[in-house]
Structure formats: structure tokens, C-alpha cells
């Protein structure tokens, strides 16, 4: 059973500019939650607050609470590194480590965080992670090849495998398919479907069909006016948001009408 | 009337074209002129040096004054030793300072460090020699290989720091994020992901820095001094190829002049192999790293 | 029914825990900051130490140090005028020769040369910077100076001898020979940095000029040179800084005589050369203090020139600065 995440009044800014404000949302365990909204609404920023990646940008700051597994990840005694090990992330553009082989990419998280395992155990983890990411059959004969030699879609699944190998609880996906062709997108979506029984997944997407296809719950973020921070307009089960949203803005967005 | 204007225009146009062609020619000529001294120097070093270059020259101690023969074996070893000491101090400091400039975003301090390191690279090398003399030679009360090596380390520090910075900046942020998102600590991310990815470029910078200090003479004159024996320890004066070439060049002996040319040939080869080699290596290596 | 993932996951070994403490990050950051500070400390210490050791001489001679021309270690009287004169004149002569050539090269390489020629030619010019100073000196003594003394200098002396700077006997070795070698040595510095500034000229500007029917040279004059000007000035200043501090080649060629003559063919002396020649033999006392004061003067001048140049070149965003550094 994976953990759930609850945010309380979460705000994030870059320097003096507020990107998102006052977001309180419950992200249930072992479900896929999609975050949708027009570009610039702060959905990626919000996502990056969930595993403390946001604070890596110079001048960036977050306030409010993110409760994961009963603990506020922004509490002073929490270690950002430990948080990121428990809450993994897959990025918009596939970013395998270019000088490492496929196998080394998968095991990088464990090796570089100082986890010592014998060779057999490590190989087992590599195989399992690649199987979970539905990549094993395609790469089992080229584990020694550089990660950059795979196709774009394979690279992204390699990145998923890499995230899975450190045994996270939650996986955050920031537009994981936006750089991929439709066939690869299909494969990633299938993988997400497979993974959700064991992980809590949060996916940011600008593609509403994708949100409708893969997610159980959906949150809709919106910036009311340019220059304003993004806010959570509403969230609920995906079927409700896409069929009978409470809010007019959501309905406009879903049906393709802005404003 | 109209015809005349046209003719004038035409003349004007032709004059402009001629000026342009002349400027082109002068610029091209400058490039040709610049190559003349390079070719001459290399040719002289090769032809005058090769005559005196033999196994004895590379492996023997200098002959006593007045006798012919002997070699610069001790100076070659001495130079390698000095470069080694310089690298031992200069490389870690330089690479870490480069990491600071590229990876630690504290704008004001970075600005100061960057500016000072650029300025340090413009300080004449003989001044660095005087500086190390006042700090090390005066306190140790002796000329030493250590002092010479430290002087060279100061000279290579800014080059290594700035090239390291530049190479680290070429590593895409996506890789840093990928690593940090896996829960890999920051220092590990920098060492195992960022520095490793930029490795080829950093190595090039290091080789260029080594090439530059290999030929330095002025800072060694009163730090490492010179010696006519094999190196005897870190706290003893040591011979070096550039200083030996200088001493022999301004001496009155024909035989020593010969050896100065041979020494120059060895030195130029060393320097060129380091700098040209690194350049070729870099050109090949940088592409797959994106 | 259990999913494949669940089955696989169930079998996974112990949950990974961080095996190492949290010491890595603070220790590494500490080292990194230490290294960065070392550069600041080094520069500060350099100025401080030189000033400290030079203090007896500064106290003894005051400003007279710069304007007096007597340099006598036996009588312990020290005046730097001939050295300052030789340093400045040799460097300025070198600039006069090197700047037009370097700019020609920079324009050719960045604007006119066909693409396939650009990088090999640039590489060849950079090689000039790779040759050690002592090798320039060796070549200068045995090849260049005799050649100048046989041909160029007598020619200039015969035809332009009525101008004092070309008058007088020719020796080969002297201010002029030192300047020629200096010019060759600073050529790569100036050309590399100005070339980089010229390259940064926006293409739109060039196209605009071309669209007006400008010839290639006019395009360079209108659209390239004005924007590159701060970078070019910075390059020239850096070249000057390098020439002022150049030691070995100058020491071997300038003649090492502390005199101020009207003729550029006469022997002279420079700050760096007198330090190179006398410093290793000096024991202590006023003589050392005077030599270190010379070093301090040279240091302060080059620091200021470099500061000025860096600030100027920062405007055109040149990356070649470090390459042409020393």
C-alpha cells in the first residue's frame, strides 16, 4: 500500500512572483491523479513542490504544508534528499544520464545514494524495474549500451524504471508524454495503468484526453488573470470533472471554451 | 546630364569595390604574416635542436663547465616534478573553485571570485614568482622544488577554475534534476553526474593549463632556482627545462647553445603535445555528451 | 488478481535506506567554498605581501623612486625610472606593431575567411600563444636580433636617421628587438579576443547593411566594428598587460642596460627583466625591497589594466578572454 499526499494551503513563488497560491488537495493512495489546466497555470510548479524539487530553482520558495505518510515534508527536520527518494519524479523531456549504460541508469539512484548491494541483487532490481516500466523485453540485450542510444519513448520508460528502482512510494510525472510520438505515449499510459496498484501517481498533462484516459481523480488549476498566481479551481473524480463539473470555468476549459 | 551622373555613380561604385577588395587583401595578408614567425620559430627549433638531441641529452646530467657532452636529464625530470607538485595543489583547488562558480548560486560572491580569477590570470608570472618567494622562500630560508611547484600552481589555478566552470555549465540542468529527483545527495550529483558528464572538457582545460605552466620560466628563477644534480627532495632547489634553456642560451659557450636548442625542441614538443592533443581529444569527445 | 507489478514488487529485497549519513553535503560545500575563497585570499595576500616586503624601499625613497634614474646596489640607491621607461616603451612599440596585424587577422578570421579555413587558421594563430616565452627569447637572440641588426635597423637608420628615435648605432639586441618579439607574443591574445567580439555581432545588422548594398568591407565597418569596439579595446588593453609583464623574451633581448636613450635601437631595461636578473642573487635589505617595490608597481598596473579590460570585454560577452589570458 502506497502513501497518500495532502497539501494544505500550499503556495509557491519565484522571487517576488507568486506562481501558485493556496492549494489544498488530497491525493489518494494507489490512484492516478491528473492535474490539468492551461499552460502557465502553475501545475508543474505545484507538482515540483510535492517532492521539494521546486526549491532547487534559485530564488524559489514554497510555503504551506505537504503531508505525506503523516509527515509534513517541509518540516525542518525533514531531509529533502529522503523526501525525493520516497517521492520520485519523471520529467517532461526524457533525461537519461548520457554517459551511463541502460543498466547503470536504472541502478544510478541506489548506487549514488550510497546503497550497497551485491551484484546479483542489483541485477535483480534492474530487471524488475525495467519490467515494471515495460521496457525489459526491448532492452534486455542492450543493457550495456549508453542510455542515450534508445529511442525517445524508450528513454522515457528508462527514466520511469530509474525512478522505480529506488523504491519510491509516490511517482510524480510532469507531462511525461509531451515529447513523445503517439505509439510511445500509448506504452507509457499502459505502464501507468500497471503501476497504479502499487504506487500513488500524480501526472501533470496539458492533454485532456490523456487525463481522462489514465486518471482516477482530476484537479483543475487556473490563472484568473495574467500575473495572478494559479489556483485550484476544483478537484474530484475524473468522471465527475469531465462530465458534470461544479464550476463554470472547469466546464469551459473541458469543452474547449476559455474565459 | 543624366549620363554623367550614371558614370559618376559607376565610378563611385567601382571605387567602393576596390576599397573593399583592398581591405580584404590586407586582412588576409595579416593572417599570412602572423604565420611567418610561427613557421620560422618551429623550423629553427626543429633543425637546430635535432642535432644535439640524443639519448645522452635526455638521460645524462649536465657536463661540468668547460667539458662537452652531458645532457638535461635532471632538468626534464625536474620539470615533471614541478608540474606534478603544481597539479597536486592547483587541480583540486581549481576544479573545486570551478564547481563553486558553476553549481553554487551565490551571485555576489561568484562575481567577485570570477573577476579575481580572471585578473589573477593576467598577473605577470614573474610577479607570482616574487610573491611565492616572499611567502615560501623567505620563511623556509631556502629555494625549493616546493616553492617552484606552488608558483606554478598559482598560475594554473584560474585557468582550471574557469574552464571547469565553463564545462560544467554545458551540462544540461535536466541531468542535475534527474539525479536530485532520485534522492541522490547534491555532492554526489555534482561529483558523479555533473563532473563526470563534463569530464572530457574539464580534462582538456587541465591539459591546456599544464601545457601553459610547463613552459613557464620566470616564476621558477628564484623559487625552484636550478641545480646541476638530480632532484634531491621537495625542500631542495631543482633544475627545470625552461630555466636550463635560459641559462644555456645566455651563456658564452657554443656547446651550451646547441643544448639550449635541443632543450627547446623537447619543451616545445611537450607543450604542443599537451595543447594540440587536448584540442583534438576535446573536439572528438564533446559531441556525445550533448 | 494480483498484477504483475505487485508480484514483482512483493519479491523485492529490503526497502532501500540511505546508507550514509548526511555529512556529505556540508563537507563538500565547505571544500568548494574554501577553494573559491582561496582565490580571493591569494589575490589579497599577494598585494599585501609585496607591499610589506617593499615597505623599507617605499619609506626610504618615496615617490622619488619612480623619477630617479640611479640604480646602484653598492651605494644602496635605487631609482626605477629607466626600468619603467623601458617597460612602457617596449610595450607601446609592440602594440603599434601588433594591433593592426591582430585586427586584420581578427577581421579576416571572423568575417572574410571561408568557413573551412577559419578554425585551422585560428588554431595556427593560437599556437603562437603556446610557444614558451624562453623559446621566443632563444630564437630572438640567435635569429631575430642578428637579422634585425643586419638588415632592418641599418635600413631605418640610414633613411630615417634624421629622426632621433631611429638614430644612433645599431646593435641588434635592444629595445626594438624586444618589441618585435613582444609584438609576436601578444598577437594571439589580441586577435583571439577581438575575433570573439566580432563574431558576436548580430547577423541581422550585417544583413541590414548588405541589403543596403554595402560592400563586404563596408559591412564590417558599419555592422561589425562599432559593436565589437569595447571588446577590441579590452583585447588591446589585455595585450598591453601581457607585454608589460613579459619577462624571459624581453630579458634576453632588451640589452639589460638601465639607460634612457632617444633611439629605439639602443639597449634598455625593463621592470620584469631587472627582477629576473637580480632577484635570485639578492640577499636582503634595501636592494630586495626595491626589487619587490618594482614588482608591486608592475602588479598594480597590470591589475588595473586587467580590471578595465575585463569590464570592457564583459560587455561584448567574449569567451576568448581566458584562452588569451596570459
Cβ distance of B161 and C39 shorter than 8 Å: yes
pLDDT at residue C162 greater than cutoff 80: yes
**ipTM of the complex, rounded to two decimals:** 0.91
Q: Please name every residue paired with A218 in a beta bridge, in sequence order, or none if there are none.
A: A34, A236
A112 in contact with B, Cβ within 8 Å: yes
Q: How confident is the model at residue B287 (pLDDT cuts 50, 70, 90)?
A: very low
Please return the burial class of A16, using the count of CB atoms within 10 Å of its CB with bins 0-12, 13-18 and 19+: exposed
Identify which has the larger pLDDT, B70 or C275. C275
Enter the C-alpha cell of residue B265. 625542441
Enter the C-alpha cell of residue C126. 593560437
In a domain? residue A146: yes
**3-state SS class at C268:** strand
* Residues B88-110: tens digit of each pLDDT: 999 999 999 999 999 987 888 99
Pairing verdict, β A170-174 and A200-204: parallel
By mean pLDDT, which of B38-47, C11-20, C131-140, C268-277 is the weakest? C11-20
Q: Please name every residue paired with A219 in a beta bridge, in sequence order, or none if there are none.
A: A35, A235
Residues of chain B contacting A88 with CB distance shorter than 8 Å: 181-183
Is residue B16 within 8 A of residue C218, CB to CB? The reply is: yes
Q: Could you say which residues from 11 to 40 on chain B have a Cβ atom under 8 Å away from some Cβ of chain C?
A: 16-17, 19-20, 22-24, 26-31, 33-35, 37-38, 40
* Residues B189-225: tens digit of each pLDDT: 999 999 999 988 899 889 989 999 999 999 999 999 8
pLDDT at residue C2 greater than cutoff 50: no
Is residue A124 within 8 A of residue A81, CB to CB? The reply is: no
* Residues C106-161: tens digit of each pLDDT: 999 999 988 888 888 888 888 899 999 999 999 999 999 999 999 998 888 888 88
pLDDT at residue C9 greater than cutoff 80: no
Per-residue pLDDT tens digits of chain A, which is 259 residues long: 678 999 999 999 998 889 999 999 999 999 999 999 988 889 999 999 999 999 888 888 999 999 998 899 999 888 888 899 999 999 998 899 888 999 999 999 888 887 878 889 999 999 999 988 888 989 989 999 988 889 888 999 999 999 999 989 999 999 988 888 888 889 889 989 888 888 999 999 988 889 999 999 999 999 888 778 999 999 999 999 999 999 998 998 888 865 4
Closest CA to B287 of C200, A155, A146, C318: A146
Cβ distance of C16 and A81 shorter than 8 Å: no
Q: Could you say which residues from 131 to 160 on chain B have a Cβ atom under 8 Å away from some Cβ of chain C?
A: 131, 133-135, 138, 143, 154-155, 157-159
**Share in percent of chain B as helix, strand, coil (round to 5):** 75, 0, 20
In b/e form, how buried is each residue of B33-46, taking b as 16+ CB within 10 angstroms?
ebeebbeebbebbe
Q: Is B57-285 a domain of CATH 1.10.3720.10?
A: yes
pLDDT at residue C18 greater than cutoff 50: no
Query: Which residues 6+ apart lie within 8 Å of C26 measured at CB?
Result: none
Average pLDDT over chain B, rounded to whole?
Answer: 89
Q: What spatial distance separates the first Cα and last Cα of chain C, rounded to whole Å?
A: 72
* Residues C82-109: tens digit of each pLDDT: 999 999 999 999 999 999 999 999 999 9
Identify which has the larger pLDDT, B267 or A99. B267
Q: Could you say which residues from 87 to 146 on chain B have a Cβ atom under 8 Å away from some Cβ of chain A?
A: 105
Segment holding C16, helix H or strand E: none
Cβ distance of A91 and B189 shorter than 8 Å: no
| Average pLDDT rounded to a whole number, residues C202-218 | 84
Nearest residue, CB atoms, A56 vs list B180, B185, B199: B180
What pLDDT does residue C321 have? 47
Distance (Å, whole) CA C237 – CA B7: 46
How close, in Å, is residue A91 to chain B by CA atoms? 8
Question: What are residue A203's phi and psi, to 5 degrees?
Answer: -125, 130
Distance (Å, whole) CA A25 – CA A31: 14
Q: What does pTM read for this prediction?
A: 0.87
Q: Which CATH number covers residue A124?
A: 3.40.50.300
What pLDDT does residue C73 have? 87
Is residue C93 within 8 A of residue C175, CB to CB? The reply is: yes
Domain hosting residue A17, numbered range: 5-254
Q: Please name every residue paired with A89 in a beta bridge, in sequence order, or none if there are none.
A: A172
CA distances from C271 to B148, C81, C86, C89 (A): 21, 10, 8, 12
Distance (Å, whole) CA B246 – CA C253: 12
Domain residue limits, chain C: 57-323
What pLDDT does residue B75 have? 93
Is residue C86 within 8 A of residue C270, CB to CB? The reply is: yes
What is the percent of chain C where pLDDT is above 90?
A: 53
In a domain? residue A88: yes
Give the HSE-up count for residue B271: Cα atoms under 13 Å, Cβ half-sphere.
Answer: 24
Pairing verdict, β A71-72 and C71-72: unpaired
**3-state SS class at C71:** strand
Average pLDDT over chain C, rounded to whole?
Answer: 86
* Cα C52 from chain centre: 26
Q: Three-state SS across chain A? A: CCCCEEEEEEEEEECCEEEEEEEEEEECCCCEEEEECCCCCCHHHHHHHCCCCHHHCCCEEEEEEEEECCEECCCCCCCHHHHHHHEEEECCCCCCCCCCEHHHHHHHHHHHCCCCCCHHHHHHHHHHHHHHCCCHHHHCCCCCCEHHHCCHHHHHHHHHHHHHHCCCCEEEEECCCCCCCHHHHHHHHHHHHHHCCCCEEEEECCCHHHHHHHCCEEEEEECCCCCCCEEEEEEEEHHHHHHCCCCHHHHHHHCCCCC
Cβ distance of C4 and A194 shorter than 8 Å: yes
Domain residue limits, chain B: 2-52, 57-285
Q: Domain C57-323 belongs to what topology?
A: MetI-like fold (1.10.3720)
Distance (Å, whole) CA B116 – CA B122: 10
Mutate which of A32, A114, A136 to test chain C, going by most C C-beta atoms within 10 A?
Answer: A114
Give the HSE-up count for residue A82: Cα atoms under 13 Å, Cβ half-sphere.
Answer: 18
How close, in Å, is residue A200 to chain C by CA atoms? 13
Residues of chain A contacting C27 with CB distance shorter than 8 Å: none
Distance (Å, whole) CA A186 – CA C169: 89
Amino acid at each position: 500500500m502506497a502513501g497518500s499526499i495532502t497539501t494544505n494551503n500550499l503556495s509557491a513563488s519565484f522571487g517576488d512572483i507568486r506562481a501558485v497560491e493556496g492549494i489544498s488537495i488530497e491525493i489518494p493512495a494507489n490512484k492516478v491523479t491528473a492535474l490539468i489546466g492551461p499552460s502557465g497555470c502553475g501545475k508543474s510548479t505545484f507538482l515540483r513542490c510535492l517532492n521539494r524539487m521546486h526549491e532547487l530553482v534559485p530564488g524559489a520558495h514554497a510555503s504551506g504544508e505537504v503531508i505525506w505518510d503523516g509527515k509534513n515534508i517541509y518540516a525542518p527536520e525533514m531531509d529533502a534528499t529522503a523526501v525525493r527518494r520516497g517521492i520520485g519524479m519523471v520529467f517532461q523531456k526524457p533525461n537519461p544520464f548520457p554517459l551511463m549504460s541502460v543498466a547503470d541508469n536504472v541502478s544510478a539512484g541506489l548506487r549514488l545514494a550510497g546503497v550497497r548491494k551485491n551484484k546479483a541483487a542489483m541485477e535483480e532490481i534492474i530487471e524488475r524495474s525495467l519490467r515494471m516500466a515495460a521496457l525489459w523485453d526491448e532492452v534486455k540485450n542492450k543493457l550495456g549500451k549508453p542510455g542515450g542510444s534508445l529511442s525517445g519513448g524508450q528513454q522515457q520508460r528508462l527514466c520511469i524504471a530509474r525512478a522505480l528502482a529506488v523504491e519510491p512510494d509516490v511517482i510524480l510525472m510532469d507531462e511525461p508524454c509531451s515529447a513523445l510520438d503517439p505509439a510511445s505515449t500509448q506504452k507509457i499510459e499502459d505502464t501507468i495503468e500497471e503501476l497504479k496498484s502499487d504506487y500513488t501517481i500524480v501526472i501533470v498533462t496539458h492533454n485532456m484526453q490523456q487525463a481522462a484516459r489514465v486518471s482516477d481523480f482530476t484537479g483543475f488549476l487556473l490563472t484568473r488573470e495574467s500575473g495572478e498566481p494559479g489556483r485550484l479551481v476544483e478537484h474530484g473524480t475524473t468522471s465527475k470533472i469531465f462530465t458534470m463539473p461544479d464550476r463554470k470555468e472547469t466546464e469551459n476549459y473541458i469543452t474547449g471554451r476559455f474565459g | 546630364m543624366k549620363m554623367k551622373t550614371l558614370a559618376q555613380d559607376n565610378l563611385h561604385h567601382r571605387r567602393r569595390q576596390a576599397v573593399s577588395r583592398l581591405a580584404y587583401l590586407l586582412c588576409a595578408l595579416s593572417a599570412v604574416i602572423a604565420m611567418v614567425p610561427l613557421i620560422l620559430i618551429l623550423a629553427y627549433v626543429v633543425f637546430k635542436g635535432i642535432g644535439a638531441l640524443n639519448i645522452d641529452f635526455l638521460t645524462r646530467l649536465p657536463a661540468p663547465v668547460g667539458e662537452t657532452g652531458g645532457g638535461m636529464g635532471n632538468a626534464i625530470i625536474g620539470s615533471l616534478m614541478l608540474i606534478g607538485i603544481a597539479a597536486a595543489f592547483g587541480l583540486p583547488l581549481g576544479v573545486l573553485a570551478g564547481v563553486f562558480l558553476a553549481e553554487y548560486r551565490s551571485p555576489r560572491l561568484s562575481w567577485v571570485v570570477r573577476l579575481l580569477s580572471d585578473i589573477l590570470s593576467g598577473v605577470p608570472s614573474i610577479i607570482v614568482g616574487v610573491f611565492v618567494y616572499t611567502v615560501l622562500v623567505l620563511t623556509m630560508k631556502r629555494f625549493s622544488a616546493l616553492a617552484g611547484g606552488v608558483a606554478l600552481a598559482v598560475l594554473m589555478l584560474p585557468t582550471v577554475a574557469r574552464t571547469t566552470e565553463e564545462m560544467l555549465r554545458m551540462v544540461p540542468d535536466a541531468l542535475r534534476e534527474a539525479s536530485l529527483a532520485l534522492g541522490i545527495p547534491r555532492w554526489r550529483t555534482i561529483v558523479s553526474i555533473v563532473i563526470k558528464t563534463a569530464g572530457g572538457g574539464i580534462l582538456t582545460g587541465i591539459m591546456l593549463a599544464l601545457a601553459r605552466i610547463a613552459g613557464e620560466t620566470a616564476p621558477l628563477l628564484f623559487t625552484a632556482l636550478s641545480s646541476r644534480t638530480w632532484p634531491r627532495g621537495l625542500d631542495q632547489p631543482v633544475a627545470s627545462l625552461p630555466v636550463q634553456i635560459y641559462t644555456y642560451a645566455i651563456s658564452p659557450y657554443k656547446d651550451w647553445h646547441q643544448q639550449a636548442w635541443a632543450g627547446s625542441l623537447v619543451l616545445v614538443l611537450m607543450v604542443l603535445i599537451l595543447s594540440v592533443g587536448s584540442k583534438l581529444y576535446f573536439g572528438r569527445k564533446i559531441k556525445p555528451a550533448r | 488478481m494480483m498484477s504483475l507489478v505487485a508480484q514483482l514488487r512483493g519479491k523485492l529485497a529490503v526497502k532501500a535506506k540511505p546508507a550514509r549519513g548526511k555529512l556529505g553535503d556540508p563537507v563538500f560545500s565547505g571544500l568548494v567554498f574554501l577553494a573559491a575563497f582561496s582565490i580571493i585570499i591569494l589575490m589579497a595576500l599577494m598585494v599585501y605581501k609585496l607591499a610589506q616586503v617593499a615597505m623599507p624601499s617605499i619609506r626610504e625613497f618615496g615617490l622619488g623612486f619612480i623619477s630617479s634614474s640611479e640604480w646602484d646596489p653598492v651605494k644602496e640607491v635605487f631609482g626605477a625610472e629607466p626600468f619603467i621607461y623601458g617597460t612602457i616603451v617596449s610595450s607601446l612599440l609592440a602594440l603599434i606593431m601588433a594591433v593592426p596585424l591582430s585586427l586584420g587577422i581578427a577581421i579576416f578570421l571572423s568575417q572574410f575567411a571561408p568557413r573551412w579555413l577559419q578554425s585551422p587558421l585560428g588554431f595556427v594563430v593560437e599556437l603562437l600563444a603556446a610557444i614558451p616565452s624562453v623559446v621566443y627569447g632563444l630564437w630572438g637572440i640567435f635569429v631575430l636580433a642578428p637579422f634585425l641588426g643586419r638588415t632592418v635597423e641599418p635600413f631605418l637608420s640610414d633613411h630615417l636617421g634624421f629622426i632621433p628615435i631611429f638614430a644612433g648605432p645599431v646593435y641588434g639586441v635592444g629595445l626594438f628587438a624586444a618589441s618585435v618579439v613582444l609584438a609576436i607574443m601578444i598577437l594571439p591574445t589580441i586577435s583571439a579576443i577581438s575575433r570573439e567580439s566580432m563574431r558576436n555581432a548580430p547577423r541581422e545588422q550585417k544583413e541590414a547593411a548588405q541589403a543596403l548594398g554595402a560592400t563586404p568591407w563596408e559591412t564590417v565597418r558599419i555592422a561589425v566594428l562599432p559593436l565589437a569596439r569595447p571588446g577590441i579595446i579590452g583585447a588591446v588593453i589585455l595585450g598591453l598587460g601581457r607585454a608589460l609583464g613579459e619577462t624571459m623574451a624581453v630579458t634576453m633581448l632588451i640589452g639589460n642596460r638601465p639607460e634612457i636613450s632617444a633611439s629605439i635601437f639602443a639597449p634598455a631595461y625593463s621592470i620584469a627583466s631587472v627582477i629576473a636578473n637580480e632577484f635570485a642573487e639578492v640577499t636582503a635589505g634595501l636592494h630586495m625591497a626595491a626589487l619587490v617595490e618594482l614588482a608591486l608597481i608592475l602588479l598594480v598596473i597590470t591589475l588595473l589594466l586587467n580590471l578595465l579590460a575585463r569590464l570592457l570585454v564583459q560587455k561584448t560577452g567574449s569567451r576568448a578572454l581566458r584562452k588569451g589570458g596570459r
